[in-house]
Amino acid sequence: MTCVRPRTAAVFLLMLSLPCLGAEPNQDKTRERVAEVKKRIGEQYDRLEALYKHLHANPELSLHEVQTAARLAKELRELGFEVTEKVGGTGIVGILKNGPGPTVLVRTDMDALPVIEKTNLPYASKVRVRDKNDNEVGVMHACGHDMHMTCWTGTARVLVGMKDRWSGTLIFIGQPAEEVGSGARLMLNDGLFKRFPKPDYCLALHCNANGAYGTIAYTEGLALANVDSVDILVKGKGGHGAAPHSTVDPIVLAARIILDLQTLVSRETNPTDPAVVTVGSIHGGSKHNIIPSEVKLQLTVRSTKDTVRKHLLDGIKRIAEAAAKGANAPPPEVTVSPEEFTPALHNDAKLTRQTVALFKEVLGADKVQERPPVMGGEDFSRYGREGVPIFMFWLGTVPPERMAASEKEGAAPLPSLHSDLYHPVPEPSIKTGVLAMSMAVLNLVGK
C-alpha cells in the first residue's frame, strides 16, 4: 500500500467527492465520433457501392493492376492526398499531413485471382486474359480485395471530412501482388519506409468468408503462417509404355516423393507445431503409352516457426534427392521461390487490444469475435517485420441466414476465399468496414 501524506490526503478526499471525469466523457466522445462517421458513410454510400461493383467487374491479376491503381490514385488526389504512383511496380502511396501527431498507414491490396467467376451476379467479372504461361484464364476478385479497396476509399473520405477531429499524418497505400506474396516486399524495396514517412502504426482489414456481416474477427499475436512455394522437377528416362524396364519412370518416382513428403509433417515435426506440405499441381506426360522424361510438381509449404520452416524446406530437398537416388534417376531440381515467400503475420498485442476494445464499444461485444490462427498467408506481415506495430482484422461479409443454413446437418459449406462462388454482400459489409477502419484510425490520431 502507498502511504498518503496529510496534504495529499486532503486532495485525495476532495477528489473522492467529485464525479468521475474519465469514463463517461470518453464514451460520449466515442458515441459522437461514431454518429459522425456513420453520417458521412451514409452520405457517400451509393458512390462506394458503385465503386465496389466497378472494381469487382474489372479485376486485374498480380503485378498488372494498372487501371485499378490509376482509379485509386484518382480517388486519393480528389481528396487532397499527395499521391505517388508506380511504387514497387503498380503500387500507390498517398500522403495527407494534418498537423503534428502519429503517422498511421492504412493498406489495401489490389490484385485479383486467375479464377473464372461463377456467382451469376449482375456485376460479375467476365474478364479473360493470358497468364505468364500464355494460358487463357479468367480473372476474379475471389479474395475480397475489391471490398478491401472500397473500405479503404471510404475511410479516406471519412477522415478527410473530419480533419478538424484528428491530428497527424495518414499514409494510404494501394499494394500490388498480395496473392503471389511479393507486393509488400516490392514496395519496401522501392523505399516505402525511406522515401515516405515511416509509420508508427499499420492497419489493414481482410474479408472473412465465414463471418456474418456486421461482425469483426481478430487474432492477437500469431495470426497467419509462413508461406513458401516450392517447385520440384522430377527427372527420369523416357520411353515406350510397353517397355518400362528400359526407362526410369518419373511418374512413379513423383508418386513416391509425394507420399514420402507427408512424413515431414506426420513423423518429423512436433505435433504441437503447425505445418502443411501440399502438392497442389502435378504435370507430366503427353500420351497413354509414353513414359515421359520428367514430371513437374508445385508445392505450397506452411509453417508458423522459422525453425520448422527450415526443416520442411530442407526435408523436401532431402526426400526428393533420396527417392531419385533409390530409383537410379538423375538428381531432381528443387527450387524454393524467394519472390513468393510470405512471412508469418503477428498482430501487435498492444495495438490489437487497444483497437479491439474500441470495436467492442462501437459494434457491441457480441459482434467482435476472437479467432484462432490459420495457415493462410498475408504479406502485410512484412510491415511488422520492419519494426512497426501492425494489426489486421477480419470483416464479416456473409448474410447471417446463409451462415445458419450452412451449419445445418448435411448442408453445403459456405464458399471459401478463392472460390469461384465467393462474393461479399456489399451492404452492410462496406458500412461496417468503413466504420471500423475509420474509428481505428481516429483512435490513434484523434484529438
Q: Note whether 185 and 43 are same-domain residues.
A: yes
Q: Is residue 248 within 8 Å of 237, Cβ to Cβ?
A: yes
CATH code of 75's domain: 3.40.630.10
Judge whether 315 lies within some domain.
yes
Give me the pLDDT at residue 25, please. 55
Q: What is the pLDDT of residues 98-131, one digit of tens each?
A: 999 999 999 999 999 999 999 999 999 999 999 8
Ramachandran bin of 440, using left for φ above 0, alpha for ψ from -120 to 50, beta for the remaining angles: alpha
Give me the pLDDT at residue 1, please. 42
Q: Is residue 178 within 8 Å of 168, Cβ to Cβ?
A: no
Q: Note whether 194 and 47 are same-domain residues.
A: yes
Q: Note whether 154 and 39 are same-domain residues.
A: yes
Q: What is the pLDDT of residues 423-436, one digit of tens each?
A: 999 999 999 999 99
Q: Which of 340, 355, 383 is the last residue of a domain?
A: 340
Comparing CA positions, the residue from 414, 419, 413, 369 lying closest to residue 394 is 369
Total domains present in the chain: 2
Residue type at position 292 = P
What is the spatial distance between Cα 71 and Cα 85, in angstroms, rounded to a whole number? Answer: 11
Q: Note whether 234 and 330 are same-domain residues.
A: yes
Give me the pLDDT at residue 133, please. 79
Q: Note whether 212 and 161 are same-domain residues.
A: yes
- Report the relative pairing of strands 201-212 and 168-175 from DSSP bridges: unpaired
Q: Note whether 240 and 318 are same-domain residues.
A: yes
What is the spatial distance between Cα 46 and Cα 23, in angstroms, rounded to a whole number? Answer: 36
Task: Kindly state the average pLDDT of the residues 21-40.
Answer: 80
Q: What is the pLDDT of residues 73-82, one digit of tens each?
A: 999 999 999 9
Q: Note whether 90 and 134 are same-domain residues.
A: yes
Q: Which of 302, 323, 340 is the last residue of a domain?
A: 340
Q: Note whether 151 and 33 are same-domain residues.
A: yes
Judge whether 1 lies within some domain.
no
Q: pTM above the 0.85 mark?
A: yes
Judge whether 116 lies within some domain.
yes
Judge whether 16 lies within some domain.
no
Judge whether 12 lies within some domain.
no
Q: What is the pLDDT of residues 315-336, one digit of tens each?
A: 999 999 999 999 999 999 999 9
Task: Kindly state the average pLDDT of the residues 214-230.
Answer: 98
**Range of the structural domain that residue 164 is part of:** 24-225+344-445
Task: Kindly state the average pLDDT of the residues 39-58.
Answer: 98
Q: Which of 340, 372, 402 is the last residue of a domain?
A: 340
Q: Note whether 181 and 264 are same-domain residues.
A: no
Q: Note whether 88 and 106 are same-domain residues.
A: yes
Cell 448435411 -> residue: 410
Q: Note whether 130 and 181 are same-domain residues.
A: yes
Q: What is the pLDDT of residues 371-430, one digit of tens each?
A: 999 999 999 999 999 999 999 999 999 999 999 999 999 999 999 999 999 999 999 999
**Is 50 exceeded by the pLDDT of residue 280?**
yes
**Is 70 exceeded by the pLDDT of residue 3?**
no
